[in-house]
Each structure stands twice: as structure tokens, then as C-alpha cells.
Amino acid sequence: MDIDNDYDIEYELENIKNFGNEKQLYLLGCEIEHICTHGLQVSEGWYDERFEYINMYSQLGWFHLAERFNDKDVYLYNTAIHTIRLLDDLLEERGSKPNFNLNNYYNMIHNIQSIWNYYKKIYGSNEDEDILDLIEGMRFL
């Protein structure tokens, strides 16, 4: 990343709530990748702010998605199940301490981005109501 790009992302992260969900997800992914790559320490306030997204994403229909694609699309099924486990771990962990595992958070963000991108690439315009409900839910969080 160059300095201008770093500044843009920092500015956008400060104003993340002004963007749509797909852009928010992208920004969260860039942020956590940067944090993990450089071994940065984050503040308790950061955990509070990012936990809002964990909580929000946990309320999407991951179980329904997994159930719907069981025996139909192994990748979507497995990634949804893994996302459920990560979200459960993050929620449980946050319930007992002021932070959460950054690697689990990274993987959760990555999984959600992967599901989003995979669905758009593979199913594009084919309308499957269940995945569309999940995707629509992500769009309008």
C-alpha cells in the first residue's frame, strides 16, 4: 500500500458507517489483514467497535444457508458452517473478556467476503431465494 492508499483506508475506516455493507466488509478485511500482517496491537475501543460487526454478521441466516446448500454446493455449505463456528467462538469469547481472537475475526471476515464473491461468481443472476435473502440481508444491514 502506498501512503495515499493508507490514508484513504484510514479515512474510510473512520467513516465506515457511511458506506454500504459490501464496502464495509472490504474495509474491515483490509484493516484486519493489515493488523495481522504487521502484528499490530489494537485498543479496547477497537474491539468494541468491531464487535458491532461480529454481532451484526452473526444475525444473518448462516445456518439456513448451510442447510440449503448441504449436498448441493460443498464450498458454500462448508464455508457457512465454518463461519457459524467462528461467529459462535467470537461471541462466546467476547462474552467473557474485553477482546476476541484476531485470527478468528480475520477468518470470519474472509469467509463472509468469500461467500459473497463466490456466490456472485458462480450463481450470478440465478436466483436462489435463500442465498439472495442472506445477500440482501448483508446489503441492508
Tens of pLDDT, residue by residue over 40-80, are 999 999 999 999 999 999 998 899 889 988 999 999 999 99
The amino acid that residue 49 corresponds to is E
Q: How far apart are CA 74 and CA 123, in angstroms?
A: 14
Domain count for the chain? 1
What is the reported pTM? 0.84
Tally of CB atoms within 10 A around 74: 10
Q: Which of 3-7, 11-15, 19-23, 82-86 has the highest mean pLDDT?
A: 82-86
Tally of CB atoms within 10 A around 126: 9
Domain range for 27 is 3-139
**Look-up: residue for cell 454446493?**
73
